[in-house]
């Protein structure tokens, strides 16, 4: 192998190692895992964050994966399952009877914008206690929005600021923002806040490289704020 | 005996060149996903270049997720390199001939500016650097630190909200990060022009230059 070949091979290696089209592999994949560790360390320092000025609700961007606005199927219930002692299927009324938490949180989208709203709902930690969730590392969130889903590390999911939210800005959650119930917490980027929930599963294993709709396409899994 | 450009200074300088370039380019790719400033419904109209569709050749990473992975991977190299540089600067006492020290450098910096503007005929005396150079290099270091801190706030707006508060929150940090980039680009452009004019000194940045008696 002469010097030119060696340089070419090195260049090719560099490209595959840092291929931003496939950011989950090579050096970029290694660095994502490294960053995940750094974020977990930082997580331990997190305090509760109070949001500031409310954004006008009409200016709060509306995203969903389906081609049309997803509407809850008749007889909708939220399944709480996985590694739990008492699996449950909750109606909206049953959820609303649990103790309510109100939070004002600044939303951070991966695209770079921020918006602030009041959210009303039940702490996921409260629901976890109710169903007797056994220790496991992950929580998986499924929706009726065209297969949209995501997964969180357990510590972030059980943080007091992580809600199963049924209300926004003092009124019931609108279909645009994930009715009847969505996940909402201040500790993750927007694409982790799954709307149109159907299932919450406490699980032992999630492939962190592909654990969600956007995550499987290349976005970071941890995505902590 | 000390060279004008010691090894660590040269090494960190040349690691910075591709690192800063890719950081800037992946940053512009990230910005393109939402090239506006201020929270939804309360935009900061005074920030320049909003809605900028930056050209292809100024961007790296291909798409938002790719650019974010590049940015957050290289950021570590940038910070480690900067820490090596800063620690060396202090330990070796190189800071004394490189950093801007107002009582010593303010007047010479002005005189140097007047010389460049052809108002003053003779070049003010200098040792390794003139006052204006020191002010420029020191400003570049300060900008680099500001970029890292505002970047940390954007990365962790919740966990680092105390630092964020000093920068006007998440959206304030975005503005600082972007304006800081423009200022750094201005520094690099000026730096390249000065290198082109004083091209005879350029090899020193590679070889280190001739050893001189310790001052």
Kindly state whether residue B90 falls inside one of the protein's structural domains: yes
Question: What's the confidence (pLDDT) of residue A42?
Answer: 86
On whether both A68 and A102 belong to a single domain, the answer is yes
Contacts of B186 (CB under 8 A, 6+ apart): none
On whether both A141 and A112 belong to a single domain, the answer is yes
Kindly state whether residue A105 falls inside one of the protein's structural domains: yes
Kindly state whether residue B2 falls inside one of the protein's structural domains: no
Kindly state whether residue A125 falls inside one of the protein's structural domains: yes
Range of the domain at A144: 49-217
Report residue A202 as tokens.
Answer: 């406490």
Q: Does B73 or A43 have the greater pLDDT score?
A: B73
On whether both A30 and A78 belong to a single domain, the answer is no
Contact A190, A153 (CB under 8 A): no
Kindly state whether residue B147 falls inside one of the protein's structural domains: yes
On whether both A113 and A156 belong to a single domain, the answer is yes
Range of the domain at B168: 7-207
Q: How does B203-214 read in b/e, with b if 16+ C-beta sit within 10 Å?
A: eeeeebbeeeee
Q: Which residues of B touch A63 (CB under 8 A)?
A: none
If you measure CA to CA, which chain B residue comes closest to A223?
Answer: B155
On whether both A9 and A96 belong to a single domain, the answer is no
The tally of CA atoms less than 13 A away on the side-chain side of residue B59 is: 19
Report residue A100 as tokens.
Answer: 């309510």
What are the beta bridge partners of residue A185?
A162
Task: Please give, rounded to a whole number of angstroms, the shortest distance from the CA of A122 to a CA of chain B.
Answer: 21
Is pLDDT of A43 > 60?
Answer: yes
Helix (H) or strand (E) holding A168: strand A162-168
Taking an 8 Å cut-off on Cβ atoms, the answer to whether B159 and A43 are in contact is yes
Question: What's the confidence (pLDDT) of residue B214?
Answer: 52
On whether both A36 and A90 belong to a single domain, the answer is no
Average pLDDT, integer, range A141-156? 96
If you measure CA to CA, which chain A residue comes closest to B164?
Answer: A49
DSSP A62-73: ---SSSS---PP
Question: What's the confidence (pLDDT) of residue B199?
Answer: 94
On whether both A41 and A61 belong to a single domain, the answer is no
Kindly state whether residue B1 falls inside one of the protein's structural domains: no
Task: Please give, rounded to a whole number of angstroms, the shortest distance from the CA of B178 to a CA of chain A.
Answer: 12
What's the CATH code of the domain at A148? 3.90.420.10
In which band, very low, low, confident or very high, does the pLDDT at A21 lie, cut at 50, 70 and 90?
Answer: confident
SS3 at position A163:
strand
Question: What's the confidence (pLDDT) of residue A44?
Answer: 72
Taking an 8 Å cut-off on Cβ atoms, the answer to whether A113 and B39 are in contact is yes
Q: Which residues of B touch A220 (CB under 8 A)?
A: 65, 68-69, 72
Please tell me the distance from the alpha carbon of residue A206 to that of residue A145, in angstroms, as a whole number. 20
On whether both A29 and A58 belong to a single domain, the answer is no
> Best mutation site among A103, A113, A192 for testing chain B: the one with the most B CBs within 10 Å?
A113
Kindly state whether residue A16 falls inside one of the protein's structural domains: yes
On whether both A155 and A75 belong to a single domain, the answer is yes
CA of residue A109 relative to chain centroid, distance: 11
What's the CATH code of the domain at B75? 1.20.950.20
If you measure CA to CA, which chain B residue comes closest to A17?
Answer: B70
Q: Into how many domains does chain A fold? A: 2
On whether both A96 and A146 belong to a single domain, the answer is yes
Contacts of A74 (CB under 8 A, 6+ apart): none
Q: Into how many domains does chain B fold? A: 1
Nearest by CB: B33 against A53, A111, A225: A111
Taking an 8 Å cut-off on Cβ atoms, the answer to whether B66 and A224 are in contact is no
Kindly state whether residue B212 falls inside one of the protein's structural domains: no
Is pLDDT of A13 > 90?
Answer: no
Question: What's the confidence (pLDDT) of residue A135?
Answer: 84
Please tell me the distance from the alpha carbon of residue A146 to that of residue A13, in angstroms, as a whole number. 38
Question: What's the confidence (pLDDT) of residue A47?
Answer: 60
Q: Is the peptide bond before A180 cis (omega within 30 degrees of 0)?
A: yes
Is pLDDT of A10 > 60?
Answer: no
Kindly state whether residue A7 falls inside one of the protein's structural domains: yes
Q: Per residue of chain B (215 residues), give pLDDT as tens.
A: 689 999 999 999 999 999 999 999 999 999 999 999 999 999 999 999 999 999 999 999 999 999 999 999 999 999 999 999 999 999 999 999 999 999 999 999 999 999 999 999 999 988 899 999 999 999 999 999 999 999 999 999 998 999 999 999 999 999 999 999 999 999 999 999 999 999 999 999 999 998 876 54
Question: What's the confidence (pLDDT) of residue A99?
Answer: 96
Q: Which phi and psi (to 5°) does residue B27 adopt?
A: -60, -45
DSSP-derived secondary structure letter, A203: E
On whether both A70 and A40 belong to a single domain, the answer is no
With 0-12 / 13-18 / 19 or more C-beta atoms within 10 angstroms meaning exposed / middle / buried, residue A8 is exposed
On whether both A86 and A152 belong to a single domain, the answer is yes
DSSP E strand boundaries for A74-161: 78-82, 88-90, 101-108, 114-123, 138-143, 149-153
Predicted-assembly ipTM surpassing the 0.85 threshold = yes
DSSP B137-187: HHHHHHHHHHHHHHHHHHH-TTTTHHHHHHTTHHHHHHHHHHHHHHHHHHH
Q: What tens digit of pLDDT does each residue of A162-221 get?
A: 999 999 999 999 999 999 999 999 899 999 999 999 999 999 999 988 899 999 999 999
In which band, very low, low, confident or very high, does the pLDDT at A48 lie, cut at 50, 70 and 90?
Answer: low
Contact A186, A225 (CB under 8 A): yes
Q: What tens digit of pLDDT does each residue of A95-148 get?
A: 999 999 999 999 999 999 999 999 999 999 999 999 999 988 999 999 999 999
Question: What's the confidence (pLDDT) of residue B129?
Answer: 94
Please tell me the distance from the alpha carbon of residue A121 to that of residue A183, in angstroms, as a whole number. 9
Kindly state whether residue A222 falls inside one of the protein's structural domains: no
Kindly state whether residue A224 falls inside one of the protein's structural domains: no
Contact A214, A198 (CB under 8 A): no
Nearest by CB: A219 against B30, B65, B73: B65
Is pLDDT of A49 > 70?
Answer: no
Report residue A96 as tokens.
Answer: 């609303």
């Amino acid at each position: 192998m002469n010097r030119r070949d060696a340089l070419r091979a090195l260049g090719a290696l560099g490209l595959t190692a840092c291929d931003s089209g496939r950011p989950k592999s090579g050096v970029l994949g290694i660095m994502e895992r490294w960053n995940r560790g750094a974020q977990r360390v930082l997580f331990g320092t997190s305090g509760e964050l109070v949001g500031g000025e409310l954004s006008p609700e009409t200016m709060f961007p509306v995203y969903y994966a389906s081609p049309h606005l997803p509407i809850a199927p008749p007889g909708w219930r939220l399944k709480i399952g996985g590694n739990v002692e008492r699996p449950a299927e909750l109606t909206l009324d049953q959820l609303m009877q649990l103790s309510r938490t109100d939070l004002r949180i600044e939303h951070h989208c991966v695209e770079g914008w921020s918006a602030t709203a009041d959210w009303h709902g039940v702490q996921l930690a409260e629901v976890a206690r109710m169903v007797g969730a056994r220790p496991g590392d992950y929580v998986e969130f499924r929706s009726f929005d065209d297969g949209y889903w995501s997964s969180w590390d357990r510590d972030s999911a059980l943080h007091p600021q992580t809600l199963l939210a049924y209300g926004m800005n003092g009124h019931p959650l609108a279909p645009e923002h994930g009715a009847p119930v969505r996940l909402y917490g201040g500790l993750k980027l927007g694409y982790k806040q799954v709307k149109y929930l159907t299932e919450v599963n406490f699980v032992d294993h999630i492939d962190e490289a592909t654990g969600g709709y956007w995550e499987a396409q290349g976005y970071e899994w941890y995505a902590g704020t | 005996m000390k060279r004008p450009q010691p090894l660590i200074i040269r090494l960190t300088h040349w690691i910075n060149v591709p690192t800063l370039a890719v950081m800037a380019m992946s940053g512009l790719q990230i910005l393109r996903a939402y090239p506006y400033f201020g929270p939804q419904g309360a935009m900061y109209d005074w920030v320049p270049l909003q809605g900028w569709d930056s050209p292809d050749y100024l961007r790296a990473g291909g798409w938002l997720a790719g650019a974010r992975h590049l940015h957050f991977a290289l950021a570590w190299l940038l910070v480690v390199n900067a820490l090596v540089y800063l620690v060396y600067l202090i330990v070796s006492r190189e800071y004394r001939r490189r950093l801007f020290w107002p009582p010593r450098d303010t007047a010479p910096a002005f005189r140097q500016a007047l010389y460049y503007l052809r108002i003053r005929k003779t070049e003010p005396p200098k040792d390794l650097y003139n006052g204006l150079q020191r002010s420029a290099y020191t400003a570049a270091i300060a900008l680099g630190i500001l970029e890292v801190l505002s970047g940390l706030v954007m990365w962790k707006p919740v966990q680092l909200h105390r630092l964020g508060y000093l920068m006007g929150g998440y959206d304030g940090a975005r503005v600082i990060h972007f304006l800081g980039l423009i200022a750094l680009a201005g520094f690099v452009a000026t730096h390249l022009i000065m290198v082109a004019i004083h091209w005879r000194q350029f090899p020193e940045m590679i070889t280190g230059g001739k050893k001189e008696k310790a001052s």
